[in-house]
């Protein structure tokens, strides 16, 4: 097994200020490195030997367990609770700590939450889903009945349409990456295609919409176009292999790939087939986009193409000049991610990053690129393009187009300022 000799100096610089070619570390590619290339990270000790066994090797370890939990040393890696309604505990949001995570799967314990009146406790043996309205025969499904239907599994992101709403503000919030961008998570969802249940009930050909209603105390309800219901909508029963978590709609939720998270109604109790949208409180008083001219956009379903660098990011600190890997996530409610570029000079020059397989439609995509930081202050940015050719706008472009009155669908290029002391800050740049 021979190692090809190559130093970073031989690697082409695709953009300014230290970004390296995305293939630099690939197996058999330009990335096979000379011994010592990263040396500053490890301690070199010519006499290093196994030495005495650490204390943990001298006593039997902890027992097997029925259901595991994270290490106690990771106890600070939690969701961030942000309550929107003073005096309540279950009306608000909790955010995924993106800067502490890697890959594309969000562990279910850290999936973001957004509830309008808390998490109901639902006995799956008692729960019923009613399909009624403009159908040949109204149907009532128990969870046991739903579990008999054919299922599909898909890895999809879910993003609250209010994610990054703080970025509409006039000053950049001094928050962690997860606090500004952590109303997005990604899971493997398994459930029954809604089209099978609608076919079973027999949809009136004049029906163009459905109403979906949750069994929470907010009776969360949204209208969904029939085309989406018949396309890729799922009634999700499983999340990351096991039954849904309570805060994600146990025992059954609607799941609409790529659409604003609020429409994937949790604790689903009712689907009414209709000819028009129902204009519920949740889609009129909320989840409409107030524009600069005072008009509001309704029914703006797909989440737009978006990305964010999660390492480094606010909440983490750089530890001196040298080689780093920039890592981040990109996603689009329009399909797959085609490309993510990164700039290490505030947007003057851009380098294409490596996308980690699998790159899936309506899923988070992990991107990575190597960066030799010279220790000088600078601004990092990422810019995603989806397979529909849509590109993230700058914040200025986004605000010029949409105004600053809305709180939904913010998806502009995110800038992180790296200070010479290694601190990473949210900036408008």
Q: Which of residues 116-175 bind its own copies (CB under 8 A)?
A: 117-127, 130-132, 136-141, 144-146, 148-155
Q: Which is nearer to its own copies, 22 or 381 (CB)?
A: 22
Contact 400, 294 (CB under 8 A): no
Does the protein bind its own copies through residue 251 (CB under 8 A)? yes
Among 13, 23, 165, 188, binds its own copies (CB under 8 A): 188
Please tell me the distance from the alpha carbon of residue 182 to that of residue 400, in angstroms, as a whole number.
25
Provide, rounded to whole angstroms, the least separation between the CB of residue 222 and its own copies. Answer: 16
Binding test (CB under 8 A) with its own copies, winner from 23, 29, 77, 387: 77
- Specify whether the CB–CB gap between 120 and 217 falls below 8 A: yes
- Nearer to its own copies among residue 145 and residue 407 (C-beta): 145
Pick 93 or 342: Cβ nearer its own copies:
93
Please pick, from the candidates 247, 283, 304, 386, the single residue that binds its own copies as defined by CB under 8 A.
247
Q: Which of residues 39-68 bind its own copies (CB under 8 A)?
A: 39, 41-50, 53-54, 56-68
CB 398 within 8 A of CB 409: no
Burial class of residue 358 in the structure, from the number of CB atoms within 10 Å of its CB (0-12 exposed, 13-18 middle, 19+ buried)? exposed
Q: Please report whether residue 241 would count as binding its own copies according to CB under 8 A.
A: yes
Cβ contact 160:93 at 8 Å: yes
Element (DSSP H or E) covering residue 236: strand 234-239
Residue 294: CB minimum distance to its own copies, A: 33
Among 191, 178, 188, 190, smallest CA distance to 112 is for 178
3-state secondary structure of 146: helix
- Count CB atoms within 10 A of the CB of residue 260: 23
CA angle 315, 371, 384 (to 5 degrees): 75
CB 393, min distance to its own copies, A: 28
Check binding of 86 to its own copies (CB under 8 A): no
β-strands 296-297, 268-274 pairing: unpaired
Stretch that binds its own copies, among 262-270, 294-302, 331-339, 345-353 (CB under 8 A): 262-270
For its own copies, the closer of residues 152 and 419 by Cβ is: 152
Closest CA to 320 of 328, 329, 310, 312: 312
Tell me which residues in 334-363 interact with its own copies (CB under 8 A). 356-358, 360
| Rounded Cα distance, 352 and 345, in Å | 14
The smaller minimum CB distance to its own copies, of residues 37 and 290, is found at: 37
The answer to the question of residue 176 lying near its own copies (CB under 8 A) is: no
Q: How far apart are CA 2 and CA 281, in angstroms?
A: 66
Which stretch, 105-113, 284-292, 331-339, 392-400, contacts its own copies (CB under 8 A)?
Answer: 105-113
Among positions 156, 181, 253, 270, the unique one binding its own copies when judged by CB under 8 A: 270
255 Cβ contact list (under 8 Å, min separation 6): 156, 158, 189, 191, 233, 234, 235, 236, 264
Q: Is 91 in the site for its own copies (CB under 8 A)?
A: yes
Contacts to its own copies from residues 22-41, by CB under 8 A: 24-25, 27, 32-39, 41
Which member of 324, 331, 350, 416 binds its own copies (CB under 8 A)? 324
Q: Which of 269, 334, 338, 417 binds its own copies (CB under 8 A)?
A: 269
Q: Are 268 and 234 in contact (CB under 8 A)?
A: no
Please list the residues that pair with 412 across neighbouring strands. none
Distance CA 148, CA 236 (A): 13
Nearer to its own copies, 90 or 347 (CB): 90
Residue of the chain from 16, 23, 29, 78 that contacts its own copies (CB under 8 A): 78
Contact between 21 and its own copies by CB under 8 A: the answer reads no
Identity of the residue, 51 or 389, whose beta carbon is nearer to its own copies in the bound complex = 51
Query: Smallest distance from the beta carbon of 102 to its own copies, in angstroms?
Result: 4
- The residue (of 247 and 260) whose beta carbon lies closer to its own copies is 247
């Amino acid at each position: 097994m021979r190692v090809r000799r190559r130093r970073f100096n031989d690697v082409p610089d695709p953009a300014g200020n230290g970004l390296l070619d995305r293939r630099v570390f690939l197996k058999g590619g330009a990335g096979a490195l000379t011994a010592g290339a990263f040396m500053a990270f490890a301690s070199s000790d010519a006499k290093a030997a196994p030495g005495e066994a650490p204390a943990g090797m001298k006593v039997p370890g902890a027992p097997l367990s029925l259901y595991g939990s994270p290490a106690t040393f990771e106890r600070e890696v939690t969701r961030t609770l942000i309550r929107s309604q003073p005096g309540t505990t279950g009306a608000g949001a909790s955010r995924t700590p993106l800067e502490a995570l890697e890959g594309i799967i969000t562990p279910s314990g850290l999936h973001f939450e957004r509830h309008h009146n808390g998490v109901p406790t639902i006995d799956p043996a008692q729960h019923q889903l009613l399909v009624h309205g403009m159908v040949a025969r109204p149907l009532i499904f128990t969870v046991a009945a739903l579990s008999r239907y054919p299922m599909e599994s898909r890895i999809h992101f879910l993003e609250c349409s209010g994610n990054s709403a703080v970025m509409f503000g006039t000053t950049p919030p001094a928050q962690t990456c997860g606090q500004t961008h952590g109303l997005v998570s990604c899971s493997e969802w398994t459930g029954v295609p809604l089209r099978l249940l609608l076919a079973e009930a027999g949809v009136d050909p004049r029906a163009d919409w459905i109403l979906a209603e949750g069994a929470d105390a907010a009776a969360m309800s949204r209208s969904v176009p029939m085309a989406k219901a018949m396309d890729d909508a799922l009634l999700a029963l499983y999340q990351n292999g096991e039954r849904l978590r309570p805060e994600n709609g146990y025992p059954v939720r609607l799941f609409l790939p790529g659409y604003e998270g609020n429409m994937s109604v949790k604790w689903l109790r009712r689907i009414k087939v209709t000819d028009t949208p129902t204009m519920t409180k949740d889609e009129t008083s909320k989840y409409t986009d107030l524009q600069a001219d005072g008009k509001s956009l309704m029914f703006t379903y797909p989440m737009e193409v978006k990305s964010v660098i999660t390492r480094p990011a606010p909440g983490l600190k750089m530890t001196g000049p040298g080689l780093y890997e920039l890592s981040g996530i990109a996603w689009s409610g329009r399909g797959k991610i085609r490309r993510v570029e990164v700039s290490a000079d505030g947007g003057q020059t851009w380098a294409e990053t490596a996308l980690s397989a699998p790159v899936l439609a309506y899923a988070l995509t992990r991107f990575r690129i190597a960066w030799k930081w010279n220790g000088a202050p600078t601004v990092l940015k990422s810019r995603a393009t989806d397979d529909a050719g849509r590109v993230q706008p700058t914040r200025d472009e986004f605000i010029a187009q949409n105004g600053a009155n809305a709180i939904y669908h913010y998806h502009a290029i995110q800038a992180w300022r790296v200070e010479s002391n290694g601190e990473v800050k949210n900036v408008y740049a």
